[in-house]
Structure 1
Amino acid sequence: MKLIKNYLYNLSYQVLLILLPIITTPYVTRIFSSNDLGTYAFYNSIATYFLLLAGLGVANYGTRLISQNRNRLSSTFWSIYQLQLLATSLSILFYAITIIGVPRMQHPVALLFTISLISKGLDISWFFQGLEDFRRITIRNTLVKILGVASIFLFVKSSEDLGKYVFFLVVFEALGQLSMWIPAKKYIGRWVWDWEQIKYHIKPVILLFVPQIAITLYISLDQTMLGILAGNEEVGLYDQANKILKILLTVVTSLGTVMLPRISGLITEKKEDEVNRLYNLSFLVYNLVIFPMILGMLIINEDFISIFLGPDFQEVTIAISIMIWRLFFIGWTNIMGIQILIPHGKNKEYMLSTTVPAVFSLLLNLVLIPYLGFIGAAITSVLSEFLVWLIQVYATREQLRQLSFYKSMWRILLASLLMFTVLLGLKMTVHFSAFLNIMIYVSVGAVVYLGGLYILKAVDLKELRLEYLKK
């Protein structure tokens, strides 16, 4: 039951991280133009590369080591964190050089992202994830995030307030990270410098850092290239589609975060049967959510955007119709990469599955963006995720053969297709207001989908409770 509680805590926190900015989005998109928001997204994409260096792949590695070394938390924590601190210092130095040396980077928004780098240096969420203490992460950050959103509504009033908007985003993020040090004090003890331990961590961290570089390239490089090759307005449209997908991805990826420490511990104890049960549970949960989510979003896309973003961002519907298919690939790779390859120490395979698609993404963006703008970036993002999925399926083929989720997966897919067919017919005949349309689609879709699952016996709830949740 602790695993389920951790999943719910982490899910609620991840939803909070996405939901609060999303609450502000309808307000923000009616104050700022796509060019204004594209300016923010462009400099954010630049800062992402420096944030990557600051993190140095410590998050997953630190979670795994903390979960495996609970009898010596203090020394393990400090040796990992000091490596992170060194990386953050180096990142801030490089960012300062970039701002001084590149005239376009001498923009107020770019300068504000220095606070994000400091925030990354304070981030010790991986420590609590390793302890499987997701309750603290959730509660400590909730208040800070809510204060940040309240500040946006109170002080951001016109298109001239873009600097204020970015300031509130980065400052309250830093305060959230800082707040985690208070409950950590009783575990980590006094600062202890051990250069030998730091050097011991460098190689495995670098092996995880290289895939993070690749992931960042094919996640953030598209926005950077859009800004350079097509302009900030294209970045703004593409970024809004990305924000909406992140809400959906929160549900898809939250389970992987809480599974990593649990699976790492079970692998250390050589409990392979338990590990396979958790893999089957992960695939079952993902498939139950992903298929109806993708097909449902295709139905409500236009109505949702008209309400959520307003008439100036209607072109975002095109990007979402393309990019929504990323959910399937990301859901599976979250299991195969985070839950199978990393806990089993297959860092080289994980690195390959991210570096090859990153190169592919770079080349394809160079070809498509000059001609298709944000639509070209959307196409590239889907094909890149597909390539990650393909490589990881091959790398995890031995583990996948031992699993038994496939039978339920096809039934879930069939129930989802039944839902989509009914909703498509309904869409052709129902023409009310956008809000009422969505309410009808969601209500009817939920009834048809759940009914389909029941008729097809896609999920045996009794078996699920006995086999997975209790264990």
Structure 2
Amino acid sequence: MKILKNYVYNLSYQILVVVLPIITTPYITRIFSSQELGDYGYYSSIVTYFILLATLGVANYGTKVISGHRNEINKNFWGIYFLQLGATILSISLYCIFCVNLPSMQNPVAYILGLSLVSKGLDISWLFQGLEDFRKITVRNITVKLVGVISIFLFVKSTNDLYLYVFLLTIFELLGQLSMWLPAREFIGKPHVDLEYARYHLKPIILLFLPQIAISLYVTLDRTMLGVLASTKDVGIYDQALKLVNILLTLVTSLGSVMLPRVANLLATNNHEEVNKMHEISFLVYNLIIFPIMTGMLIVNDDFVQFFLGQDFQDARFAIAIMIFRMFFIGWTNIMGIQILIPHNKNKEFMISTTVPAITSVGLNLLFLPKLGYMGAAIVSVLTEAFVWAIQLFFTRKYIKDVPIIGSMMKIILASAIMYGLLLVSKTVIHFSPIVNVLAFAVIGGIIYLFAILSLKVVDVKELKQIIRKN
């Protein structure tokens, strides 16, 4: 039952993360042009590299350590956090040098985004994830997000407010991280430095840091290279398409942060049978959500972009039609990487599964971006995620061979195909405004999919209830 509660808490926040951009994006894309938001996306992609250094590989590693050693929280927290703090100070210093010495970085947007480095240096959400206390994270994040969105509507009114918009995004992120330190005091006590113990954590953190660099190469470098090899307008269009796909992805990836501490805790007690059950639930939930979202989005893509984005961003629908297929690969790698390789201490394999595709993605971007622009970036993003999926599938084959996946997945694919076919037919008779079309297809598609899932008996409801109550 604890897993269910944590998933509900985390999912409620992720739903808010989904809903708020749906509210703000139509407003923002009608105030700022693709060029202006492209500038923000370009500098944001550069800052991401420094954020990567500031956070090291602490998030997943810290969650795993706290979860597996709950009787030594104080010692482990400060040993890990001082490494994060040192990395943040180094990152801020390098970013300042970068901005001062590189003319292209001497832009107010780049300066304001530097606040994100301070935010990440204060991020201790991994502590509460390790403790499986998602309530504190959720309540504070929701409060800060809501205040931030209200501020955007109140103060961002014209194209001259781009710097204010970027500042509001970063300052509320910073306030959100600061708010986590108050409830953390009862667990972490007073700060104390133990360099020897910090060094003990350094090697495994570095092993998880290298994959994060690799992931950043193919998640963020595409926007940077797009700005250099094509144009910042291409960045703006691609960035909006990427944001939309990432919004949909939050519905599935929210389960990963909930399952990691539980799987790590079960492995610490050598309860492998229960671990397999957790993996089975993860694959089932992911597939149940991923496939209907993919097929449904292909149906409503044109209508959705028409009302969701401004006139300057209509070409994003072409990128979305390609990038929607990332959902399957990212959903599965969220299980194979975060829930299987990391808890089993397969850090080397996790590193290989991200670094090799990252290097490949750089070469593919050099090949595709100059000629195809944002469309090339969309194609490369899908190919890269597929490569990560293939490598992780190879490394996790012995862990998932006893986990029943294929049978239920084939039924889900069939149910999604039935939904797609019937919605495709209904498009010939449903012709309303774009927003009404989307709502109509969502309701009709949901009913068709639910009926198909129940008819095909994809889920054993009794067994699922027993597992949820037990955990």
- Same-fold call, TM cutoff 0.5: yes
User: Counterparts of 1:281 and 1:469 in 2: how far apart (Å)?
Assistant: 13
Q: Which residue of 1 aligns with 2:157?
A: 157
**Structure 1 outlier segments of 4+, above 4 Å:** none
Q: Which residue of 1 aligns with 2:284?
A: 284
Secondary structure at the residue paired with 2:427? helix
Deviations 1:195-230, CA, capped at 9 Å, x for gaps: 001111110000000000000110000000111111
CA contact (8 A) 1:341 1:350 kept: yes
CA contact (8 A) 1:10 1:138 kept: yes
CA contact (8 A) 1:222 1:365 kept: yes
- Is 1:216 aligned to 2:216, yes or no? yes
Q: Which residue of 1 aligns with 2:135?
A: 135
User: Counterparts of 1:176 and 1:269 in 2: how far apart (Å)?
Assistant: 34
Secondary structure at the residue paired with 1:430? coil
User: Counterparts of 2:389 and 2:405 in 1: how far apart (Å)?
Assistant: 17
- Is 1:100 aligned to 2:100, yes or no? yes
Q: Which residue of 1 aligns with 2:207?
A: 207
What letter corresponds to residue 326 of structure 1 in structure 2? R
Deviation for aligned residue 1:21: 3.5
Q: Which residue of 2 aligns with 1:301?
A: 301
Deviations 1:97-139, CA, capped at 9 Å, x for gaps: 1101110000000001111000111100000000000000011
What letter corresponds to residue 88 of structure 1 in structure 2? T
Secondary structure at the residue paired with 1:466? helix
Deviation for aligned residue 1:372: 0.3
What letter corresponds to residue 204 of structure 2 in structure 1? P
Q: Which residue of 2 aligns with 1:446?
A: 446
Q: Which residue of 2 aligns with 1:311?
A: 311
Q: Which residue of 1 aligns with 2:11?
A: 11
Q: Within 5 Å, give how 1:207-356 maps onto structure 2.
A: 207-356=207-356
User: Counterparts of 2:467 and 2:193 in 1: how far apart (Å)?
Assistant: 45
RMSD of the TM alignment (CA)? 1.0
TM-score by length of 2: 0.99
User: Counterparts of 1:463 and 1:260 in 2: how far apart (Å)?
Assistant: 22
Q: Which residue of 1 aligns with 2:173?
A: 173
Q: Which residue of 2 aligns with 1:466?
A: 466
User: Counterparts of 1:216 and 1:63 in 2: how far apart (Å)?
Assistant: 20
Q: Which residue of 2 aligns with 1:52?
A: 52
Secondary structure at the residue paired with 1:41? helix
Q: Which residue of 2 aligns with 1:391?
A: 391
CA contact (8 A) 1:281 1:468 kept: no
Secondary structure at the residue paired with 1:444? helix
CA contact (8 A) 1:252 1:289 kept: yes
Deviations 1:130-173, CA, capped at 9 Å, x for gaps: 00000000111222111111111111111111000000000000
- Is 1:360 aligned to 2:365, yes or no? no
- Is 1:382 aligned to 2:382, yes or no? yes
Secondary structure at the residue paired with 1:428? coil
Q: Which residue of 2 aligns with 1:402?
A: 402
What letter corresponds to residue 340 of structure 1 in structure 2? I
Deviations 1:50-103, CA, capped at 9 Å, x for gaps: 000000010000000011111111111101000000000000011011101110
User: Counterparts of 2:33 and 2:363 in 1: how far apart (Å)?
Assistant: 30
CA contact (8 A) 1:122 1:178 kept: yes
User: Counterparts of 1:468 and 1:172 in 2: how far apart (Å)?
Assistant: 35
CA contact (8 A) 2:3 2:468 kept: no
What letter corresponds to residue 400 of structure 1 in structure 2? I
Deviation for aligned residue 1:415: 0.5
TM-score by length of 1: 0.99
What letter corresponds to residue 108 of structure 2 in structure 1? P
Deviation for aligned residue 1:468: 4.6
Secondary structure at the residue paired with 1:429? coil
